[in-house]
Amino acid sequence: MNMDEPNQTSDELSRSNTEPVKKPDPGTRVSGLIALVLAVVFAGGIILWQNASESTQYKLIGEELPELVIGADTPALGRFGQFDLPARMFIRGHKLLMEQPSNYSTMVMEQFVLAHTPEDQIRAIIMSGEYEGSEAALNRVETLKLEIRSTLTSDIGQEKIEEDSYEAIRNRLLLAELDTLKSIYTKGPNSIEQPMRDQLVARYGVLGQAALTHGLENDDPLREPIVTGFIPIALLLLFVFTVAGLSFLAGLVLLIIGIINLATGKMRLRFQAPAPGGSVFLETYTVFLAAFGVLSIGLFVLSVKISPALGALAIPLQWILIVVPAWALLRGMKSKDWSKAIGLHRGEGILKEIGCGFLVYLASIPVYMVGVAITMIVILIQSLLASGSGEELEPMSNPIFDIISDGGPLFVLLIFSLATIWAPIAEELIFRGALFRHMSARMHWVLAAFLSAMLFAYMHSYGPFMVAPLIALGFMFAFMRQWRGSIIAPMTAHFIHNTALMLFMITFINLLKDPTI
**pLDDT (tens digit per residue) in 99-141:** 887 888 889 999 998 888 999 999 999 999 999 999 999 999 9
With pLDDT > 70 as the criterion, what percentage of the chain qualifies? 91
Q: Check whether 177 has a pLDDT greater than 70.
A: yes
Q: How far is CA 393 from the centre of its chain?
A: 19
* Distance (Å, whole) CA 471 – CA 457: 5
For 404-417, what is the mean pLDDT?
Answer: 86
Give the C-alpha distances (Å, rounded to integers) separating 293 from 302, 310, 434. Answer: 13, 15, 18
pLDDT of residue 393: 58
* Residue 494 φ then ψ, to 5°: -60, -40
Q: Check whether 175 has a pLDDT greater than 80.
A: yes
Q: Which H or E run contains 335?
A: helix 335-342
pLDDT of residue 160: 56
The distance in angstroms from the start CA to the end CA of the chain is: 90
Judged on CB neighbours under 10 Å (0-12, 13-18, 19+), 285 is buried
For 195-207, what is the mean pLDDT?
Answer: 95
For 445-459, what is the mean pLDDT?
Answer: 96
Chain mean pLDDT for the chain? 89
With pLDDT > 90 as the criterion, what percentage of the chain qualifies? 68
Q: Check whether 202 has a pLDDT greater than 70.
A: yes
For CA atoms 21, 27, 30, 36, the dihedral sign is negative
In contact, 477 and 490? CB cutoff 8 Å: yes
Q: Which H or E run contains 142?
A: helix 134-152
Q: Check whether 236 has a pLDDT greater than 70.
A: yes
What lies within 8 Å, CB to CB, of 46 at 6+ separation is 289, 292, 293, 296, 297, 459
pLDDT in tens, 318-362: 999 999 999 999 999 999 999 999 999 999 999 999 999 999 999
The string of DSSP codes covering 80-127 is: TSTTHHHHHHHHHTHHHHHTSSS--HHHHHGGGTT--SHHHHHHHHHH
In contact, 435 and 279? CB cutoff 8 Å: no
Judged on CB neighbours under 10 Å (0-12, 13-18, 19+), 90 is buried
* Distance (Å, whole) CA 209 – CA 95: 15
The string of DSSP codes covering 237-300 is: HHHHHHHHHHHHHHHHHHHHHHHHHHHHT-SPP---PPBTT--HHHHHHHHHHHHHHIIIIIHH
Q: Check whether 17 has a pLDDT greater than 70.
A: no
Band of pLDDT at residue 157, cut at 50, 70 and 90? very low
* Distance (Å, whole) CA 1 – CA 17: 17
> What size, in residues, is the chain?
517
* Distance (Å, whole) CA 488 – CA 46: 28
Among 20-24, 160-164, 423-427, top mean pLDDT goes to 423-427
pLDDT of residue 389: 62
Give the C-alpha distances (Å, rounded to integers) separating 448 from 202, 391, 479. Answer: 50, 40, 10
Q: Which amino acid is at 466?
A: M
Band of pLDDT at residue 16, cut at 50, 70 and 90? very low
* Residue 24 φ then ψ, to 5°: -70, 155
Half-sphere exposure of residue 95: CA atoms within 13 angstroms, side-chain side? 18
Q: Check whether 15 has a pLDDT greater than 70.
A: no
CB contact burial 463-493 (16+ within 10 A = b; e otherwise): eeebbbbbbbbbbbbbbbbbbbbbbbbbbbb
For 227-254, what is the mean pLDDT?
Answer: 96
In contact, 287 and 324? CB cutoff 8 Å: yes
The string of DSSP codes covering 416-427 is: HHIIIIIIIIII
Q: Check whether 156 has a pLDDT greater than 70.
A: no
The string of DSSP codes covering 194-228 is: HHHHHHHHHHHTHHHHHHHTTTS-TTSTTTTTTS-
Q: Identify which has the larger pLDDT, 199 or 517.
A: 199
* Distance (Å, whole) CA 469 – CA 374: 8
Q: Identify which has the larger pLDDT, 326 or 153.
A: 326
